[in-house]
Amino acid sequence: MALNPQSAEAQSFLAWTLVGRVLDFPESSSDGDIKRAEELATQAVAASPSSPLAHFAKGIVLRAQRRCRAAIPEYETVIALNRNWVSAFADIGRCKIFIGPIEEAIPAQEQAIRLSPRDPLIGIWYFRIGEAHLLQSRIDEAIFWLEKARRANPALGYVRVYLASAYALKGDTERAAAELAEGRRLSGERSWISMAKIRARSRYETQTIRALCEATFYAGLRKAGLSEE
């Protein structure tokens, strides 16, 4: 950017990185990260409308803004320009978990897995399949995929928390409590400390999905021993 402020590629990658900091490291993210990322992605798309990278950057900015309905067409544009852009398939699935139709989320993740079966992000894709099953009360399937995600990347704290909920709903409260404790340890002291905190940062965007979350994920966390406040 310093050498070429008009570079659509640099703008896109910087927007992508800023969004990553917001989503993955919220404690270290500044209030202006999303605003700057939005400006950069908008400039990149305007300068290079046929760039899948620019549209992908715009899509992840919209997803971070909890605007998944607007993000999906950006990801679809990415795929139209580059049918092998696996993260676009995966992010469409991510968005459909957040807004619905949730039954379309799993095939999108499966498509990403087929395209890149050794991808370093595959544990996250396994998790999303487990999450979709959990929200639809398919507890055995949820446990299968969440355990698979845990094996693929044992360091992902949120996988342990969702697994804790699934175990609790299955009636295995001892394993649920252990996974919840490990999830909190891996994620840091400020994460997963109460139902109130989890609700405050929830990314489920529609009332339908939030209701599913209340009946499944949150219900399981209560059984696992998570406090309300």
What's the mean pLDDT when you consider all of the chain? 95
Name the residue among 182, 183, 138, 164 with its Cα closest to residue 223.
164
Q: What is the pLDDT of residues 170-198, one digit of tens each?
A: 999 999 999 999 999 998 867 798 999 89
pLDDT in the model for residue 28: 67
pLDDT in the model for residue 27: 66
Q: Using alpha carbons only, what angle is made at residue 161 by residues 72 and 205, rounded to the nearest 5 degrees? A: 30
Terminal C-alpha separation, the chain: 44
Q: Is 30 left (phi over 0), alpha (psi -120 to 50) or beta?
A: beta
Q: Which of 67-76, 80-89, 184-193, 200-209 has the lowest mean pLDDT?
A: 184-193
Inform me whether the pLDDT recorded for 87 exceeds 90: yes
Instruction: Sort 140 into a burial class: Cβ within 10 Å, 0-12 / 13-18 / 19+.
Output: exposed
Contact in structure between 52 and 78 (CB atoms under 8 Å)? yes
Contact in structure between 198 and 164 (CB atoms under 8 Å)? no
Inform me whether the pLDDT recorded for 34 exceeds 70: yes
Q: What is the DSSP letter of 153?
A: -
Q: Could you give the domains of the chain?
A: 1-83 (1.25.40.10), 99-229 (1.25.40.10)
Rounded CA-CA distance 37/178 in Å is: 38
**pTM attached to this predicted model:** 0.94
Q: What is the pLDDT of residues 108-150, one digit of tens each?
A: 999 999 999 999 999 999 999 999 999 999 999 999 999 999 9
Q: What is the DSSP letter of 154?
A: T
Retrieve residue 53's tokens: 């990278």
One-letter amino acid at 60 equals I
pLDDT in the model for residue 190: 72
Q: What is the pLDDT of residues 41-55, one digit of tens each?
A: 999 999 999 999 999
What is the arithmetic mean of pLDDT over 5-25?
Answer: 93
